[in-house]
Amino acid sequence: MAQILLFHHAYGLTDGILALAERFRAAGHTVHTPDLFEGRRFSSDDEAFPYVEALGGGIVMERGDDAAAALPFDLVYIGVSLGVMPAQRLAQTRPGARAAILLEACVPRTVFADEWPAGVAVQVHGHDKDPFFAGEGDLESARELVSSVEDADLFLYPGDRHRFTDSSLDSYDEQATDLVVQRALGLLARLG
- The CATH number of residue 31's host domain is 3.40.50.1820
Structural domain including 63 reads: 3-191
User: In this structure, what are the phi and psi dihedrals at residue 172, rounded to the nearest 5 degrees?
Assistant: -60, 135
Q: Cβ distance 87 to 78 under 8 Å?
A: yes
Cα–Cα distance, 139 to 124 (Å, whole number): 9
Burial of 61 (0-12, 13-18, 19+ CB in 10 A): middle
Residue 56 has pLDDT above 90, yes or no: no
pLDDT of residue 91: 98
CA nearest 35: which of 3, 77, 66, 73? 66
The answer to whether the predicted template modeling score (pTM) of the entire model surpasses 0.75 is yes
* Average pLDDT estimate for 99-113: 96
Count structural domains, the chain. 1
pLDDT of residue 33: 98
Cα–Cα distance, 27 to 69 (Å, whole number): 25
Note the pLDDT tens digit of each residue in 123-159: 999 999 999 999 999 999 999 999 999 999 999 999 9
Task: Give the 3-state secondary structure of residue 81.
Answer: helix
How far are the Cα atoms of 52, 100, 153 from residue 176, in angstroms, in the given order? 27, 19, 16
